[in-house]
Structure 1
Amino acid sequence: MKKWFTIALASTLLLALTACGSSNGGNNGNTGSSASPNGTEEASPALSPEPTDAPKPDKLRIAYHPNMGGSSAIITGMKKDFFNEQNIEIELVKFTSGPTEVAAMISGDIDLGYVGHGAHFLAVEGKVKIISLDVLSKAEELMVRADSGIAAVKDLKGKTIATQLGTSGEIVLDLALKKEGMTRDDVKLVNMDMAGAVSAFIADKVDAVIVWAPYSTEIKKEIGKDNITVLANSASFSEEFVFPSSWIVTPDYLDKNEDKVVRFLKGLHKAMDYRAEHLDEVVGYVAELNATPVESVQEEVESGVWMTGTEVRGLFADGTAKKWYEQQQELFLSSGKLEKGAPVESYVTFDLMGKVAE
């Protein structure tokens, strides 16, 4: 009897120990919960997802010009991260004339770029497409020395004039001569890059020069404003023509990269909106980019009509931009810059603006 009791007691103790082991340590195969100090179950922390790499930004090689018109929108977009918002990285490449820029674009060295009025004839010829307006220029000036004895455009007959052909300077010269019933045959026209034209005029090796900011500012600084006479400028013909500066791209690049171009324009237009409200700040950006005195850049502010992106989209939608580009083409045709015209719709991307506004 005593032996039976001992065996029963041992069995009971063994079962109790087994039960305790199941309740306190039976989670070995369960990773979904764990025992808390107070005996309740808590959910295990969820595993964090593997981090994913953000898409790399699209790098665009952008042509700019070292003046307020050709630098202000692009540098503002970079400084204020408007292009970063569109996942675009900008690489700037400096140019001082539209034709050389377009040549680089056609060869594939540049993706998009800014051009002044004079190079737009290349768009009419189908080499590039215009994707946006930027600024209306008032910067081009036909200058002579005040003591030269040249008081009016008609006095330029037989005189030597320096400018860079293929630019808006050439266009202003043609308009000024035409207004006086003259042609290029009545003057001695010398084709020089802007740096050469400025140097030649300062050294008194040419009688007149046609330049724009910042080159006009440099001349006035070297010779003195009071020693310069401006015979004509782009504003002299504003009742007949406007002088738009624009952003361009090759047809091939646009066909293959429309999404990049649209995102670039979104950032650019946001920068133009900001520029219009913060011109003094933007002057500082331009001065820093081009290593130009702030005072010189500030003087350039008066050389343009600084449109916003919102205004540009409206001008493209209501037909105003089309009218301006038609007038520009007529000017090229009448001056002999173009032999034949083309429908504006064939080289200005009016339909793209709707996507930019989305």
Structure 2
Amino acid sequence: MKRLWLLLTLCWLTACGGQPATKVVIAINPWPGYELLYLAQQQGYFAEEGLQLELVQVASLSDAQRAYLAGGVDGFTSTLIEAVQVAMLGGKPLKIALLADYSAGADLIVAPERFTSITQLKGRTLGCEVSSLGIYILARALMANGMTLDDVKVINVEQGDGNRQLAAGTIDAMVTYPPYSIALLKHEGMQQLFSTREIPGEVLDIVSVSENLLRRAPDFPAKLQNVWQKVLEYHMRHPEEANALMARREGISAAEFNASLNGLALLTREAQQQLLADRERLSGMLDSVCDTLTRIQAVTGTCDKLPYLFIGGASQ
């Protein structure tokens, strides 16, 4: 038995092919979809694919992005928004290795019940992560209601501080997502004013890695997608067990975790491949995100310089 364990360990470390497996460090933020990566780790799927992958927990999307920009990790979980920002900010060149899910209602704007519409937030102070998805969601919510960021006062509020600042009245609304949004909505008098259900297909959750890593491990995206498919299938076979495991890590109940998953559209390997084959659509998504970010001055530069970030395409 001891010899078998040693053999399996050596196989994992060398990917069973004589070459040491490349260690990959990914910064990961709280989000129901990304919990599937931890579940995959628990089930041994990374080892099965010969991946030596370390998941480093950070507190927010902004933190994951900062970890990558600082050079401390090989990749990070985020939305397409953060990946475009990294490319525009001159971070290490990256490619998107996994299309995890679409946010289909999970990203929210939460406010007290005295506000019954987005338009009533005119002139108010709103909190969001200004260096990442939060400012994009806020800008799109305002646009959808005939307003711009000039119509409100925006301050940077990290996800972990949204609860306190809403309670103190420092801000009148907060852009948030699970599990943070679950805690906020538990407070009496708090409600959802806007969600990504109103902007379908715009917020794509992804895993990006450096091009340098891909030169060292060109098969990493394919292996990661195999892992993702395995864990999706495991979740479909054992939903109650899987949700309980993932909910425990996020600090919420299994029922709350299951409800948060209803705001996501998880992408199977087949769905990812179909989307990756549609270069025109993906280029349009990149252009749309970049145009919005430059319009609200979240990034500087011109979008015609933005490289094609998806696997399988050359730079534009």
What interval of TM-score do these two structures reach, taking the shorter chain for normalisation? 0.7 to 0.9
Matched, 1:283 2:214: no
Name 1:197's counterpart in structure 2.
Answer: 162
Q: 1:162 to 1:307 in 2, by over 3 A?
A: same
Distance in 2 separating the partners of 1:340 and 1:190? 25
Structure 1 counterpart SS, 2:170: coil
Name 2:106's counterpart in structure 1.
Answer: 139
Matched, 1:70 2:27: no
CA deviation string 1:23-47 (max 9, x = no partner): xxxxxxxxxxxxxxxxxxxxxxxxx
Q: 1:323 Cα deviation (Å)?
A: 4.1
Name 1:100's counterpart in structure 2.
Answer: 63
Distance in 1 separating the partners of 2:307 and 2:165? 41
Structure 1 counterpart SS, 2:52: strand
Distance in 2 separating the partners of 1:265 and 1:342? 29
Amino acid at match of 1:163: C
Indicate conservation of the 8 Å contact 2:102/2:266, yes or no: yes
Structure 1 counterpart SS, 2:77: strand
* Residues 233-244 of structure 1 mapped to structure 2, 5 A cutoff: 233-238=195-200, 241-244=201-204
Distance in 2 separating the partners of 1:105 and 1:295? 33
Indicate conservation of the 8 Å contact 2:125/2:153, yes or no: yes
1:247 to 207, 224, 237: 207
Distance in 2 separating the partners of 1:343 and 1:270? 37
Q: 1:344 Cα deviation (Å)?
A: 6.8
Q: 1:275 Cα deviation (Å)?
A: 3.6
2:297 to 319, 333, 336: 336
Matched, 1:208 2:173: yes
Q: 1:300 to 1:135 in 2, by over 3 A?
A: same
* Residues 16-35 of structure 1 mapped to structure 2, 5 A cutoff: none
* Residues 203-352 of structure 1 mapped to structure 2, 5 A cutoff: 203-221=168-186, 223-224=187-188, 227-238=189-200, 241-275=201-235, 278-319=238-279, 320-338=281-299, 339-342=301-304, 346-350=308-312
Indicate conservation of the 8 Å contact 1:116/1:168, yes or no: yes
Gapped regions of structure 1 (runs ≥ 5): 1-50, 353-358
Indicate conservation of the 8 Å contact 1:83/1:268, yes or no: no
Distance in 2 separating the partners of 1:316 and 1:276? 24
TM-score by length of 1: 0.73
Indicate conservation of the 8 Å contact 2:24/2:74, yes or no: yes
Q: 1:269 Cα deviation (Å)?
A: 3.5
CA deviation string 1:306-345 (max 9, x = no partner): 1112211121124444443443334334433343114776
Q: 1:113 Cα deviation (Å)?
A: 2.3
Distance in 1 separating the partners of 2:180 and 2:57? 15
Distance in 2 separating the partners of 1:280 and 1:97? 26
Indicate conservation of the 8 Å contact 1:140/1:168, yes or no: no
1:160 to 96, 118, 125: 125
Amino acid at match of 1:305: A
Q: 1:217 Cα deviation (Å)?
A: 0.4
Q: 1:206 to 1:307 in 2, by over 3 A?
A: same
Indicate conservation of the 8 Å contact 1:322/1:344, yes or no: no
Gapped regions of structure 2 (runs ≥ 5): 1-6, 15-20
Identical amino acids, percent of aligned pairs: 19
Name 1:48's counterpart in structure 2.
Answer: none
Q: 1:187 to 1:327 in 2, by over 3 A?
A: closer
Q: 1:185 to 1:54 in 2, by over 3 A?
A: closer
Indicate conservation of the 8 Å contact 2:108/2:181, yes or no: yes
Indicate conservation of the 8 Å contact 1:75/1:285, yes or no: no
